[in-house]
Amino acid sequence: GGGQGWELSGFVVASSSGDALGGRLCAATPPLAGRRAPRVCVWESSPWVGATGPPPAPVAAAGSPFPLLFSLRLACCSDEEAQFSLGLTLGAACWPLRARPLLGPRAPPGLFANVAPAGVELAPLCYVNGRRVLLPPGRGEATLLEFLREKGLTGTKLGCGEGGCGACTIMVSAWDAASGRPRHRAVNACLAPLYSVEGCAVVTVEGIGNRDAGLHPVQARLAAAHGSQCGFCTPGFVMSAYALMREDPAPSDAAVERALAGNLCRCTGYRPIMRAFTELARQAREGDAAAKEAAPAGRVCPSTGKPCGCGGGAKPGGLLGASVAADDAESTAAARAAEGLVTPAEPLFPVELRRREPKPLRLPGAHATWHRPRELDALLALVTAHPHARIIGGNTEVGVEARFKGVEDPVLIAPTHVPELTALKETPDGLRVGGAVTLTDLEARCHEVAADRPMACAAAAAVASQLQWFAGAQIRNVATVAGNVCTASPISDLNPILVACGATMTLAREKGGGVATREVAAADFFLGYRKTAMAEGEVLLAVTLPRAKGVAPGALDIVHDFKQSHRREDDIAIVTAGVRVLLEPEAGGSYVVREAGVGMGGVAPRTIRCQQVEAALVGQTWGRKALDAALRAVREDVTLPENVPGGMPEYRMALSSAVLFKFFAKATLALPAAAVVDGDTTRAELESAAAAVHRAPCDGQPTWPPAVDAAGEVGQPHAHVAAEMQVSGEARYVDDAPLPAACLHAVPVISEKPRAVVTAIDASQALAMEGVEGFFGAADVPGDNMIGPIMHDEECFVAVGSEAPCCGALIGLVVAETEAVARRAARAVEVTYEERTPVLTIEDAIAAGWYLDNTGDKPHTLNVGDTEGVIAAVERGEGPEGARVVHGEIKIGGQEHFYLEPMSCVVSPGEGGEMVVLQSTQCPNKTQVMVSGVLGVAANRVVCKTKRLGGGFGGKETRAAFLSAAAAVPAQKLGRAVRLVLDRDLDMKMTGTRHPFLGRYAVAFQPDGALLAADVQLYSNGGYSCDLSIPIIDRAAFHSDNCYAVPNFRVRARACRTNLPTNTAFRGFGGPQGMIVAETWVAHVAAAVGLEPEVVRQRNFYKAGEVTPFGQELVEGEWRVPAIWEELRVKADYDTRAKAIDAFNTGSRWLKRGLAMVPTRFGISFTAKFMNQGASLVHVYTDGTVLVTHGGTEMGQGLHTKVCQVAADALGVPLASVHVAETSTDKIPNASPTAASASSDLYCMATKMACEKLMARLLPYRKAEGKGWLQAAALAAYLDRVDLSEHGFYATPDITQFDWDEPSPKGRPFNYFTMGAAVAEVELDCLTGEAAVRRADVLMDLGRPLNPAIDVGQVEGAFVQGLGWCMLEELKWGDSEHSWGREGHLISVGPGAYKIPAAADAPADFRVHLLEGADNPRAVHSSKAVGEPPFFLAASAWAAARKAAAAARSDAGKGSNFFRLDSPATPERLRMACADELTADVAADDLLRGSAAEV
C-alpha cells in the first residue's frame, strides 16, 4: 500500500455453490434483493486481514471512500447470471465497490481481478487494451506474455521464447514528455518482463478489432490479401504493422519491410503479407499528402505532430489535459481522431498515463525482486548492495538465459527510468549516449546527426547503418546500449564500431554517498569472452561517440560498418567490424592516413582492435599499396584454428579481408573526383566491391485461369475461411483452449548423451519440490513402451538399462501444478549414463554398416538398361565418339520444420479408461493408435481431436504422436489432465528434421549433352529409428531422374541409422533431395560439354509416351513439362535477361548475377497404396446450413476452405452456409495423415460424393431456385423423415503397390504428376557470399484449381521454404564436421542460431502463374495437388547462385570447370566457391573440406 490507501489484489470469490470464480475480498455486503449472498474466501490475505481492529494505516483521506474497480460474474443459487453488489469492509465501515466490463465486448469479464479506478494511486499499474490493470505482486520473474495468456488474451502467441519469431508481438505505448505525445513500440511479449510495462499502455491483437466489433484495416487488409495460412504467426504480423502505423501513420514501403523483419512466417512466402501492408501504407501516404493540402493553416495533430484536420486542437481539459468524459462524445471523437484510431475497439492512450509521474518500484517475490530506481544514486546503491544483481534493459539476453538455461536471478534492477542513463545529447566531445538509451532511439539520433551534422560525429552514420540490421524492431525498441555493450558478446554488432572510432565508456559507482565516474577507452573495455573492464558495483553510465578534433582543412573522417550473417535481417553476426580512417590531403592530390581504427568481432573470444592493420595503414598514402599492406597485416591480427568455436575458420578469415577491401572501396569512392589514388583498381571494380546485393520489399502479381463456372463456388479465389479469426487472434490453437480443471503441466527430461546406456534415474530432488506431482518414465507405462508408425523400433521412454539412442531422446516427464515448477523440477532430475561411441554422420553409418531397412545388403534399386555396362564402355573409350563420364557427389543438409506452433497436446482422462487428446497433429489416427498402445487400452476408448495446426509441413505427421502417448501415462495414473507444450529448443532437439542426404553419381554423356547412362546412389540420415525413412528414401529414388529420360539408369537408395533424433517427413518427402542430385549431375555434364545447364535439361526431357524407371508411363496430353518450359521461358523473358546478366557480369568484378531455370515432376499419392483413402461426413440442418467433418487436418493449406467450396458447389448453397468441424477420430475413423499433397484429392472428393448423394435425396423437395433453396427443402425432407446425413468415401483408383523385392520392380505408384518450372535471378556479393533473389518466375500445372488464390499461396510458401532448404537453413550438430560443438548435440537451436527465410529473403519480384487449359481427369473438379510440388523449384535459385559464383571464378582465372556446391548454398559456401585472391591465403582450392570442391 501507499499513503493513499491499501492495495488488495489476487483474490478469490466463491459462489454459494463453492465454485471459485476470482477475487480476494475481506467481506461482502448483502446482495441485490432476492439473491443469496456469495460466500467469500480469503486467500493469501495481507497480514492484517482477519486481525482485530483497524489496519495499521489510514485507508483514505477523511470522509472519502476507497473504491476498488472490479468486474465479476457470480452464479447465484437459481443458476441465473446476476451482478452482485460487493463491498470492502475495513474497521467499522463498508465501502461500496463499483464494477464495469474490463476488456471489450468479446472478452469475458473478470480476467483481471485487481483493477482500480483512475484517480486512485495504487502500485503497480498498466493499461491493457484500454483498461486499467494493477499488476500482481511477487511476479518479478514473469514475462508479459505469461501474464497476458494467463488472463485469456491468447491471440499473443508463444513461438520461440527468445524474441526471434515475432509471434508474441504486442504494442507498448508510453508517454513521451519531450514530444508531448505517446510513443508506440512493437515489443516481444515473450521477453518483456511483466513489470517493465508498469506505467505503460499495452495493446494486444484483441484490442484493435474483431469480427463482431469490426476488424481494423490492418487486420482486414491482411485477411483479404490471403496473407494468413496457418495463422499462428498472423497476430504478430498484425501487431508489428499496427505499431508501425500508430507511430508513423504513413510509412514507406521500406519501413514496412523493416518493421516486419522481426516476424517469421513459415507458410506464405511473405508476398501477400508485404502486399497487404505496403498497399495500406501507400494508401495512407496518399491520404496523408491529400490531408496536408486540405488541412487548415496552423492546425497540428497533437498525436503525430503533423498538419491535420482532425480537430486536434480540441477543448482544453479534454484531449490535451484532463480526462475525456465518457459521455462527451465530441471530445472522445476528437481524441480518437487525434490518435488516428479507426475502429471502436482501439483504445485511446490513457489520459492518466499522460500526467502520471513514474515512481521508484520495489516489488519483492519468491523468485525475484524487481527494482526500478528513478535516480542515479539509488541505482548505484542497489548495485552496491546487490553486486550480483542483473541489470535489465530490454531483457533480450537475460530473458533467454532464464528460459532456456534455467538461470534464476533473485534481484533484477531496471535502470530505464534513470534520467542520466536515458539522456542522448551532443556535447563538445561528441555524441553522448546514456546506457539505457534504446537502440531504436540511438539509431534515429544517429541518422539525424549523419544527415544534418556529419562532422559532429563521423561514426554516427556507421552506427545507424549497423543498427538497421540489428535484430528486429521488437528487440531494438527495448534493447539498450549498455545491455548490448556490457554483455561483451564476441559477435556484438555495435562494439567493433565503438573500438574503431575511439569511443569512451563512462562508468559510475557509489562512493561516499555520492557518485564517482571514470572513463575507459572502448579498445580497453573488452577483456575476454563476456568479460569487461567494469569493476564490481559499476554501471555503464554512457558511451561517447567522439567528434574528430584538430582536423586539417579538407581532411576526411571516414567510418564504415560491416556485418555478415547467415541471413541479412534479424540475425546474429558471423563477422562484424568497424573501420575508421582520417585522411588528410597532400600535395599532388593524394591523401595520407593520419589515424586508423579497426575493430572486429566474430574472429576472437572478444571484440578486438586490429593493431597490426592500424599500424600498417597509418602514414601510408591512400591507395592499393595501403590496402595490400592492411590485407597482409590482418592475417597477423586474425588467425583462426580449425576447431574454433563457431566453426567456419576459413570463411571468417576471408571475411576479415573482405572488411578491409570493402572499406577501401567505399572510402576511395568518397574521395573528391580529383583525388589521386595509386594502383590499378578501376572505379567499376571499386563500385562493385562497395555495393551491397539488391533487396527490395517482396511484391508481384500472380495470374491464374478463370473458374470454369463463374457462378459456382469451385475455382473462386475465396479467402481462407478462418482468415478473419486468425488476424484478430480469435482462432484457437491447442495451447489457447481453456485448460480442463486441475490440469497439470508436463516438461520432458531428455538424454544429454548421443549414445549411452541409462544406468540410473534419480528424481528425488524434483519430487521434493512443492507443486510437483510426479516423475513418469518407462516403469510407469501400463501398455507397450515400444512405439513407431511402421516398425515398433523406438521406446516411448528410455528405460533404465536401455540405450539412449541420441541427445534429445525422451527419458521421462516431470508433472507439476505449473509449467514453471515443472521446468525447475525437470532440471533437477539426475540421469547417469554408460557412454558408447556414437555414429552421427552418413559416412560414419556407411562405414559401420548401419542401415534402417531390413533388406540386408540390398538397397532399394530401380534399374533400366545396362547402366554399369554403358558407363564402363565409355570409360574404356568404347562408347559413342566423344562420349565421356563424370563422377561426383553432393551433400544435402537437413531442414528444421520450424512450424510456428510448437508441438502441443492436452490429454484428459475420462471414465472407464477413456482418454481425450487435443493435439496439434497431421494424423489424429496415429495419435489414437499410439496412445491406446502405450496405455494398453482399446482404441475405441481414445479420441484425438484437432481443430487446426500452426504449421506442420510433415513434422507433425508421426512425431507428434509419441508426445501425446507420453503425456497420457501421467494423465491415466493421476486421473488428471496433462498439458505438454514443448519449448522451441526442446522441439528442435527432440522431434527430428528433413533427412540429410548424400548423393553419389557416375554419368555418361555425348558431346552434345545427350545422356547415355546415370548410376546414382542415395543415402539418407534417418536418425535412430525407422519412422518414415524407408518411404522417404523410396520417393527420393522415384524422383532421382527428375524430368530427364536416361536410357540406362540405375538408382540405389539406403536409409542410414545414426545416433541423431529420428528424422521424419517434410514437405517433398525425399523427392527434392533426389531431384537436386539430378540437377547436380546435369550441371556437371553441362560444364563438361561447355553448354548452359538449361540446354542440357531441355535436350533430355522425357517425351510423352515414355516410361519412367519405375514403370509409369508419361501419358500423352498429361505430360506437360516441355510445354511449361517453353511458356515460362517466354513469360520470364529468359533469353533477353540472360544476355543482360552476361553483360552485367562482364562489367562487375565483385557483384555477380546468375539466371537459372529448373523443372519439376512430382508424383501425387501415398506410395503405400492402402493410405490412399479418405472419408467425409456431411450433415444438413433444417435451417439450410451444412456441417462437414472429414479425416484431414487444417494446417494453413486451405483444406477446409476447399472442402467448403466443393460442398457448397455440390449442394448449390452459399459458401457461408458450410462449416467444417474439427477433425476427430470419433467422427472419421482410421484416417490417413494429412500429407503427400493428396488431402484435397481425397477429402474434397469424399465430400463431393456425400453431397451428391444428399442432393439426389433432396431434389424431390426442391421448390425454389438460387442458392437459398436448401432451408425449405431440408425442413420438408426432415418432416418427411428423410436422412439428412451422408457419409462419403473415396479410394484413389488405378494405383499399384510398389514391390521393391522384385528383381526389376515396376508399377504405377502415382495417380498423376504435378509439374512446373521456375526461373530465378540471383545477385551474389562475391566478397561475402551474401545472395539475394532479385526475381523469381514460377509456372505450375495445377489443373483447374479449386481455389487459385490458396494454390498460389501454396506455391509461394513452398518456394520460399525451398529457398531456406537450398540457400540458407543449415543444421549443425556436434560431429566430425563441427568438432567444436558438444558431441551429438544440436548446435543450431532456436531462431537465434537457425535461420529460416525472413521477408527480405523472399524474391523481390515474385511472379507466380498457373497454367491455363490444363485439365486433370484424375482428381476432383479436374484440380491438382499443390502442397509439395513447388518446393523443389527453389533449387532454381541454388542453380542461379552457382552460375554467379562460376562467373566470379572465371574472373579469378579458375576457368569454367565444374565445382561442387553442396546444399544449402550458404554465404560461407558461396564465398569460398568464388575462390579469389582474398581466399587464397586462408583456404586451399578444395574449398572448405569439399563443400564446394572443384571436380
Residues annotated as catalytic (active site), given as ranges: 1428
**Residue whose entry in the numeric block shows the C-alpha cell 483474490:** 11
Angle at CA 1190, nearest 5°, toward 1187 and 1193? 115
Cβ neighbours for 886, distance < 8 A, ≥ 6 positions apart: 1001, 1002, 1003, 1005, 1081, 1084, 1085, 1088, 1458, 1495
Chain-centroid distance of CA 650 in Å reads 29
Q: What is the DSSP letter of 1242?
A: I
Looking at residue 314, the DSSP 8-state letter turns out to be -
* Count of beta carbons in the 10 Å neighbourhood of residue 1260: 12
| Cα separation of the two ends of the chain | 76
Strands 786-787 vs 884-892: parallel, antiparallel or unpaired: unpaired
- Measured CA to CA, the distance from residue 1461 to residue 1267 in angstroms comes to 57
Q: Which among 579, 572, 630 is positioned nearest to 461, based on CA atoms?
A: 579
Of 1076, 1025, 522, 456, the C-alpha closest to 788 is 1025
Reduce the DSSP state of residue 1089 to 3 states and report it. helix
C-alpha pair distances (Å), 206 with each of 129, 149, 194, 353, 477: 8, 12, 19, 21, 22
Strands of 361-363's sheet in order across: 361-363, 369-372, 411-413, 390-391
Q: Is the peptide bond before 748 cis (omega within 30 degrees of 0)?
A: no
Contact between 568 and 585 under an 8 Å Cβ cutoff? The reply is no
Sign of the torsion formed by the C-alpha atoms of 1262, 1265, 1270 and 1275: negative
DSSP state of 548: P
- The Cα–Cα gap between 870 and 1433 comes to 31
Please tell me the distance from the alpha carbon of residue 376 to that of residue 383, in angstroms, as a whole number. Answer: 11
Look at the block and give the residue holding cell 481481478: 113
d(CA 558, CA 598): 12
User: Which amino acid is residue 1138, in one-letter code?
Assistant: A
Kindly tell me the sign of the dihedral angle through the C-alpha atoms of 17, 18, 20, 22: positive
Distances (CA, A) of 168 to 160, 190, 475, 901: 9, 6, 12, 12
d(CA 733, CA 234): 13
- Name the residue among 1203, 1222, 1200 with its Cα closest to residue 1211: 1203
What's the 3-state SS for 897-917?
A: CCCCCCCEEEEEECCCCCEEE
In 1190-1207, which positions are buried (b, 16+ CB within 10 angstroms) versus exposed (e)?
A: bbbbbbbbbbbbbbbbbb
370: which strand partners?
Answer: 363, 412
Residue 23 CA to chain centroid, in angstroms? 38
35 three-state secondary structure = coil
Measure CA 385 to chain center: 41
Q: For 602, how many CA atoms within 13 A lie in the half-sphere containing its CB? A: 27
CA 367 to chain centre: 30
Q: Where are the alpha helices (DSSP H) in 790-866?
A: 819-828, 842-848
Q: HSE of 877 in the Cβ direction (CA atoms, 13 Å)?
A: 0
For residue 154, give Cα distances in angstroms to 146, 686, 728, 733, 908. Answer: 10, 52, 11, 9, 21
